[in-house]
């Protein structure tokens, strides 16, 4: 019997804001792939377009799950659980009314179409499932946005294995470049490695995607991934555990950071232990603090309680939502949470929590006029040949209307 895949979100959703204000959890990127793409590989259906149970404002921007055939079973998947080959196999082997449970959290369940419909209407009901327990230490599951960069290095390594590509066999092909441990460097067709670039893969692999461009005198340390059509500017320093998502442009100093896609940090400045969404732009000499001067643990804003809480971590930089930007010489404090479509420009630190659609100068925050924000958004997307659709406009309007300044 054919089985459909359906991603769902749970009570940890808000822990991934502001990144998940504009995307479902399954579209979060860690390593080379999104969480959904990892599950597609684990289920042996790579390339399948993922669908899920979407919040209303995401409809039309992402694919809502719709049953293709009422006779098909539906495999519900919690994308917070990063699939290993073993976990994917366990999910594939589920039979009707069976579920995988890690502690008290549902990982995956195989439902009939009728039970799927019942869960959509009334919520998850585990009493109708035959439970198969999974040991917590046998799986990687995410509960907070900063855990994305914490596991990023090992996810890059795992994703390279999924791609099943060959490492560089002839480093001499890249004239006047230095490829250290070239057997651990993977360069896709169409990628350009300019003279003077140095790729150090002694501590982990380096992945260079199709048509990516690594300019002269760049230094990249593995594990790191520069994804398709991205550009690394001259003299950039890319440290371990960093992902530059598709169609990004980066420069300066970057350490243990994830850029989703279409985002730019094209000039000098430092960012570390951070995650940036799509369409972000960091102005020249923007710097993000990731460590407090007194070496204490970092407090961050909780989107659910609207209060700060102690993360227990010593290193957290910035978590920034889609379409947010900084002006030149901007400074972002340790543990900054910046919402969607914000403009930060100041020679002073802005607040550690910046609501979506904010226009920020120092500690002075005013709402970013929605029509002006959309106008800038549309111009930026047009530069990359991406239309701002009606559904995308509605999503942004919903976020604007739900924001409390």
The one-digit pLDDT tens for each residue of the chain (405 residues) are: 577 899 999 999 999 999 999 999 999 999 999 999 999 999 999 988 999 999 999 999 999 987 666 678 999 999 999 999 999 999 999 999 999 999 999 999 999 999 999 999 999 999 989 999 999 888 999 999 999 999 999 999 999 999 999 999 999 999 999 999 999 999 999 999 999 999 999 999 999 999 999 999 999 999 999 999 999 999 999 999 999 999 999 999 999 999 999 999 999 999 999 999 999 999 999 999 999 999 999 999 999 898 999 999 999 999 999 999 999 999 999 999 999 999 999 778 899 999 999 999 877 899 999 999 999 999 999 999 999 999 999 999 999 999 876
Q: Report which secondary-structure segment, H or E, holds 117.
A: helix 113-122
Q: Are 168 and 179 in contact (CB under 8 A)?
A: yes
Classify domain 3-143 at the CATH class level. alpha beta
Half-sphere exposure of 294 (CA within 13 A, CB side): 3
Q: Are 306 and 323 in contact (CB under 8 A)?
A: no
> Could you tell me the two tokens for 249?
């442009």
What torsion, rounded to 10 degrees, do the Cα atoms 306, 35, 30, 187 define? -160
35-92 residue pLDDT tens: 999 999 999 999 889 999 999 999 999 999 876 666 789 999 999 999 999 999 999 9
Between the alpha carbon of residue 365 and those of residues 62, 210, 278, 321, 387, the distances in Å are 31, 41, 23, 17, 29
Distance of CA 259 to the CA centre of its chain: 7
Q: Are 149 and 258 in contact (CB under 8 A)?
A: yes
Question: Which CATH architecture group holds 144-266?
Answer: 3 Solenoid (2.160)
Q: Residue 205 contacts by C-beta under 8 Å, 6 or more apart in sequence?
A: 156, 157, 160, 167, 184, 185, 186, 222, 223
Q: What residues does each domain of the chain span?
A: 3-143, 144-266, 290-405
Q: Tell me the whole-structure pTM to 2 decimals.
A: 0.96
Q: Residue 114 contacts by C-beta under 8 Å, 6 or more apart in sequence?
A: none
Residue 76, phi then psi, degrees to nearest 5: -80, 135
């Amino acid at each position: 019997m054919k089985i459909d895949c359906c991603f769902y979100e749970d009570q940890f959703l808000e822990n991934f804001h502001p990144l998940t204000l504009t995307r479902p959890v399954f579209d979060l990127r860690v390593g080379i792939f999104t969480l959904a793409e990892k599950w597609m590989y684990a289920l042996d259906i790579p390339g399948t377009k993922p669908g899920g149970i979407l919040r209303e404002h995401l409809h039309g921007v992402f694919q809502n799950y719709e049953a293709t055939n009422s006779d098909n079973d539906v495999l519900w998947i919690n994308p917070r659980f990063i699939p290993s080959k073993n976990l994917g196999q366990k999910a594939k082997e589920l039979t009707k009314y069976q579920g995988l449970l890690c502690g008290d959290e549902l990982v995956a369940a195989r439902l009939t179409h009728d039970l799927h419909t019942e869960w959509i209407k009334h919520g998850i009901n585990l009493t109708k499932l035959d439970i198969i327990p999974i040991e917590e230490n046998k799986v990687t599951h995410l509960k907070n946005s900063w855990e994305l960069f914490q596991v990023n290095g090992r996810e890059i390594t795992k994703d390279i294995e999924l791609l099943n590509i060959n490492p560089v066999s002839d480093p001499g092909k890249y004239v006047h470049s230095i490829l250290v441990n070239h057997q651990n460097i993977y360069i896709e067709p169409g990628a350009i490695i300019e003279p003077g670039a140095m790729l150090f893969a002694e501590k982990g692999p380096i992945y260079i995607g199709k048509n990516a461009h690594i300019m002269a005198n760049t230094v990249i340390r593995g594990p790191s991934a520069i994804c398709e059509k991205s550009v690394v500017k001259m003299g950039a320093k890319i440290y371990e555990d960093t992902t530059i998502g598709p169609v990004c442009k980066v420069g300066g100093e970057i350490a243990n950071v994830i850029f989703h896609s279409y985002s730019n940090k094209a000039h000098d400045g430092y960012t570390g232990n951070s995650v940036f969404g799509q369409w972000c732009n960091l102005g020249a000499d923007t710097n993000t603090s990731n460590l407090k001067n007194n070496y204490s643990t970092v407090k961050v804003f909780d989107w659910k309680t609207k209060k700060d809480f102690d993360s227990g971590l010593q290193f957290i930089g910035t978590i920034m939502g889609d379409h947010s930007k900084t002006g030149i010489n901007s400074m972002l404090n340790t543990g900054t949470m910046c919402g969607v479509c914000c403009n930060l420009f100041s020679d002073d630190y802005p607040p550690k929590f910046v609501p979506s659609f904010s226009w920020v100068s120092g500690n002075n925050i005013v709402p970013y006029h929605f029509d002006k924000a959309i106008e800038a958004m549309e111009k930026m997307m047009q530069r990359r040949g991406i239309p701002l659709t009606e559904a995308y406009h509605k999503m942004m309007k919903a976020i604007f209307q739900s924001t409390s300044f």
